[in-house]
Structure 1
Amino acid sequence: MKAVVITNPGGPEVLKIQQVENPEIGNKQVLIKVEATALNRADTLQRQGKYPPPPGASIYPGLECSGTIEAVGTDVTRWKVGDQVCALLSGGGYAEKVAVPAGQVLPVPPGVSLKDAASLPEVACTVWSTIFMMSKLSAGETFLVHGGSSGIGTFAIQIAKYKGARVFVTAGSEEKLAICKDLGADVCINYKTEDFVARVTEETGGKGVDVILDNIGGPYFQKNLNSLNIDGRLFLLGFQGGPVAEVNLAFILARRLTVQGAGLRTRSIESKAVIVSEVEKNVWPAIAEGKVKPVVYKSFPLSEAAEAHQLMESSKHIGKILLIA
């Protein structure tokens, strides 16, 4: 099969398409003939040598895919050859075929094309596990997501709104904020021209928001604490601005704040299966109702993975970028 190989750590130009061995499946795995995969920031870090795949995972990038099941392991009962699915991966999506634990496979949601379904597993599992399973966002609460126009952001806006939250977003242009508003965001803040802490304080009558999902890290840490309500929850997904911060811990005590962080990729197979099951139960109905939709900015052929990475790192995109196998 063909796969995108990281020839050595570096910029987008190190991504090359090559002929490689087909993956072999275990008893509890399925083999998916990949229709499409979607880019994630973690892929760019892996390309730079900063985020190696966990032990036993495919060495090729790609944390989600859609496609058709080509083979099933002897212990797999739910799935059969020919099923159209999408899947959460530990790696290997940038290829024509990938082996996946059966518990990380999802049916393509009603009303979504097989290609666009590739944009859903990673964001759905990330957002559901962080802001709902761990941070317990509930109807009537307020929620702030930084980078509202990203893949994570565009999905988080929709599912949080569907679940009855008041949604705040930050983004870096009026065009991106307009898209966020169209997706359901209630309060849209341009972080380049506004102080988001002041705006959150104003919009909440001085209380702050209940849950924040942040991928910036260090530079936003104290600002996030300042923006949280009593019993507020801050969830850290990444450190695009750097991992180091100076913090006034008094805010955490005074407001009974919770700070959490987690990634999906290094979780156990069993943990991922639980999250995938919860996503199918809670998120897939929202997609079937048309209340949550894939947001796909652009698609590239697998052979143009380098160009796709350049686009992602430019941050000009809104939503997800796909690679078509």
Structure 2
Amino acid sequence: MRGVLWSQAGGPDTLAARDGDDVHAAGGQVRVRTEASPVLWVETQMRAGLVPSPAAPPTVFGSQAVGLVDEVGDGVDPQLIGTRVAVSGVGIGAHAEFVCAAVEQCVAVPDAIGAVDAAVALTGLPVALALLERAGDLSDATVLVEAAGSGIGAYLTQLLRGRAGLVVATAGSDESRTRAASFGADVVLDHADLDRPGALAAAAGGRTIDAAFDSIGGSTARRVLDALTPLRGQLLSYGMLSGEAPRIAAADLYAGGYTVTACAGPAWLDRVAALRSIALDRVAGGTVRPVFDSTMPLDAVATAHRRIDERATSGTIVLVP
């Protein structure tokens, strides 16, 4: 079986496609013949040793896959063989020709969606759905979405189109800002504009921000806090593109009675996983389009990671065995 071997914590070149032992479904598991395996941003952080990994190197890398069930273990309905499923929650080992997973870690992929589109959608759309669920009713709200040109921010922007009163988005390049506008943002700023006093309020037409979806963290989150609507403004933190958590202390919330929600942890991830089927149905129904960059063979995994490290992607890169 060919798969991506992670040899040690470090740069992209610590990943390489290698031949290894075959895997087989244990009791309660299915084996999936992989058709598509997305490369996630968090995987680049695991590879570099910046966040914990479910398994230590050397090991087969990758967290998610889409493919056809070709083998079932004891206690699993054999009629599942031939079914296309999306697999997540395996922790590691998905960048390979075959991956084994518990039945509950799999969701059926609608016939209207191909394997690549399903793999792309499941990298960010379930998170976006969970964030909007947590934010509550945003009818007529003024909303800020950071990093809206790709990833979770792009899905948030698509889902908010026609739902919120005003969507203000940020993105880091001209190309990304164009994409954010195409996804439905009413106003698009550069990330750096968040550091300029009054820029966010001006972009919002003098309005305060009712809900901010923060994927940057650090000092940027603290500055966004000052632009929130007193008493009901909320900041939902779900990422650290700056490399650090939001620099917000409890005392900072007193000035306006603001709310900050950390969208993380095991219970949060369980809720995200529970929304996978709904996410795939949204794509199948045409209400959300997958945010896709390109497909690459397993042998190009280092190139994929390098492009993500350099923030040179327009969406999800998918490895195809």
Question: Shared fold (TM-score greater than 0.5)?
Answer: yes
For residue 19 of structure 1, what is the amino acid of its counterpart? D
Percent same amino acid at aligned positions?
A: 25
Q: Indicate how the Cα distance of structure 1 residues 274 and 260 shifts in structure 2: closer, same or farther if over 3 A, else same.
A: closer
1:311 to 2:307 alignment? yes
- Aligned residue runs from structure 1 range 235-314, under 5 A: 235-243=236-244, 247=248, 249-263=250-264, 267=266, 274-281=271-278, 283-314=279-310
Aligned to 1:21: 21
Q: Indicate how the Cα distance of structure 1 residues 14 and 204 shifts in structure 2: closer, same or farther if over 3 A, else same.
A: same
Deviations 1:80-126 (A, max 9, x none): 01111223232222111112232332232454321221112131222
Structure 2 distance, partners of 1:162, 1:107, is: 29
Contact 2:7–2:59 at 8 Å: present in 1 too?
A: no
Aligned to 1:31: 31
Secondary structure at the counterpart of residue 106 of structure 1: strand
Contact 2:142–2:164 at 8 Å: present in 1 too?
A: no
Q: Indicate how the Cα distance of structure 1 residues 16 and 125 shifts in structure 2: closer, same or farther if over 3 A, else same.
A: same
Aligned to 1:157: 157
Structure 1 distance, partners of 2:48, 2:276, is: 31
Deviations 1:211-261 (A, max 9, x none): 222222212121121232232222222323232665465541243322222
Deviations 1:141-177 (A, max 9, x none): 3332211122222222112326556422111122211
Structure 2 distance, partners of 1:169, 1:293, is: 18
For residue 275 of structure 1, what is the amino acid of its counterpart? V
Q: Indicate how the Cα distance of structure 1 residues 237 and 148 shifts in structure 2: closer, same or farther if over 3 A, else same.
A: same
1:44 to 2:40 alignment? no
RMSD: 2.9
- Aligned residue runs from structure 1 range 1-325, under 5 A: 1-54=1-54, 59-76=59-76, 80-89=80-89, 90-109=91-110, 111-129=112-130, 131-136=131-136, 138-161=138-161, 163-164=163-164, 166-192=166-192, 195=195, 198-230=198-230, 231-243=232-244, 247=248, 249-263=250-264, 267=266, 274-281=271-278, 283-325=279-321
Structure 1 distance, partners of 2:103, 2:139, is: 32
Q: Indicate how the Cα distance of structure 1 residues 103 and 213 shifts in structure 2: closer, same or farther if over 3 A, else same.
A: farther
For residue 313 of structure 1, what is the amino acid of its counterpart? D
Contact 1:161–1:184 at 8 Å: present in 2 too?
A: yes
Q: Indicate how the Cα distance of structure 1 residues 321 and 55 shifts in structure 2: closer, same or farther if over 3 A, else same.
A: closer
User: Where does the alignment leave 5 or more consecutive residues of structure 1 unmatched?
Assistant: none
For residue 286 of structure 2, what is the amino acid of its counterpart? G
Deviation at 1:303, TM superposition (A): 0.8
Q: TM-score, normalised by structure 2?
A: 0.86
Secondary structure at the counterpart of residue 210 of structure 2: strand
Structure 1 distance, partners of 2:74, 2:19, is: 28
Q: Indicate how the Cα distance of structure 1 residues 238 and 245 shifts in structure 2: closer, same or farther if over 3 A, else same.
A: closer
Contact 1:207–1:228 at 8 Å: present in 2 too?
A: no
Structure 1 distance, partners of 2:87, 2:197, is: 37
Secondary structure at the counterpart of residue 54 of structure 1: coil
Q: Indicate how the Cα distance of structure 1 residues 83 and 258 shifts in structure 2: closer, same or farther if over 3 A, else same.
A: same
Deviation at 1:275, TM superposition (A): 3.5
Deviation at 1:12, TM superposition (A): 0.8
Identify the range of structure 1 (43-52 vs 67-76) with the bigger mean alpha-carbon deviation: 67-76
Q: Indicate how the Cα distance of structure 1 residues 198 and 38 shifts in structure 2: closer, same or farther if over 3 A, else same.
A: farther
Secondary structure at the counterpart of residue 229 of structure 1: coil
Contact 1:189–1:196 at 8 Å: present in 2 too?
A: no
Q: Indicate how the Cα distance of structure 1 residues 69 and 244 shifts in structure 2: closer, same or farther if over 3 A, else same.
A: closer
Q: TM-score, normalised by structure 1?
A: 0.85
